[in-house]
Amino acid sequence: MPQAPFVTSSTLTAIALDYGTVNSKGRGFLADEVLPRVRVDAPEFRYASYPLEEAFEVLDTQAGRRSKLNEMLLTATEAAGFVRDYGLEAPIPFRDEQAARSSAMPFPIRARNTRALVDKVQLARELRASSLVFGAGNYQTGYKATLAGATQWSDAASDPVAAILDAKASMLMSPNVLVVGEPVFRAMQRHSKISTALGGSGQSGRYVPANEMAGVLGFDRIIVGNTISQTSKKGQALTTAPIWGKHAALLRVAPTNGVGTVDNPEEPSFGYTFQWGDQVAGEYNDPQMGLLGGVRIKYGEMIDERVVAPYAGYLFSNAVA
């Protein structure tokens, strides 16, 4: 990757990477969990799209003593994509930096701004991931349902266990994770059908933990999104809403390695995040800033989130009221 036209800082980059990991957990960001990262070698990349029917085609394997074996032919369509640049910068007047250093409680203003940039870039990515995962247009016909009234899991008459197990049975590729917003998870935790499926009483009032719920529903894990974002416009009274909202998605998600990337990009997965290069943080001087000049801190990454296997997911829109 070519050198960035500003001074990259190993210190700021290390702060960004370290804080990004901690912040993702602390803020409940899910993007990397539901759309795992795949490294690409160039900003414009290509990947193979395989016909679904080939995975389930039954071939004639019988052969005569001297006959030629029947052939298996695998085909693929080449799909293209390109990464986009996502980043922000923060201006720091030298006057402010000097004040921060000489205050009664000095603090590293550049590091503080770097962490804030990471948070905002991650928050924007979380919104993109939620729109992708919970976008009905990204699922195949028959692989999505919109719930209403008594079928919504916030209604005592509903049966989320039956709904989820029936959806799983209808899928060609078995999902391994359930992705839900916090409102959906809370409704499922106290739902009588979940409790009775675990052998308890529907009137016990027990809140079922995620690991037990995942086991009875047949998932490796349940991923719960509890991040909120501002919905009001700048200057208006603050209003917020859950990013992952009131929906639920049954997804096949590829496993990742110790550094959070997918080793085998041909591993079936509903979606991927294609990444070129590394996340980067740096700085450059701005002599036009204020009387004394200043420095601008940059942070960003080059990625592309996309659905690659729409048959590897099932969506319940409006799972709760």
Domains for the chain: give ranges and CATH numbers.
Answer: 7-50+79-317 (3.90.1690.10)
State whether the Cα torsion 94-95-96-102 is positive or negative. positive
Whether the full predicted model's pTM is greater than 0.75, yes or no, is yes
Phi, psi (5° rounding) for residue 115? -65, -40
pLDDT of residue 77: 79
CA distance linking residue 90 with residue 109, whole number of Å: 11
Query: What is the overall mean pLDDT for the chain?
Result: 89
Tell me the one-letter amino acid at 117: L
Other CB atoms within a 10 A radius of the CB of residue 108 amount to 14
User: Order of strands across the sheet with 144-146?
Assistant: 144-146, 313-317, 248-251, 177-181, 221-225
Chain Cα centroid distance, residue 60:
41
pLDDT in tens, 40-86: 999 998 877 777 777 778 988 999 888 899 888 877 778 889 999 99
Greater model confidence, 235 or 218: 218
Structure-block tokens of residue 87:
């980043």
Question: In the chain, where do the E strands start and end?
Answer: 7-8, 37-40, 44-49, 77-82, 84-93, 144-146, 177-181, 221-225, 228-230, 240-242, 248-251, 271-286, 294-307, 313-317
Bridge partners of residue 276, in order along the sequence: 40, 302
Q: pLDDT: is 22 or 275 the higher one?
A: 275
pLDDT of 23 > 70? The answer is: no
Q: What is the pLDDT of residues 80-118, one digit of tens each?
A: 899 999 999 999 999 999 888 887 777 888 988 999 999
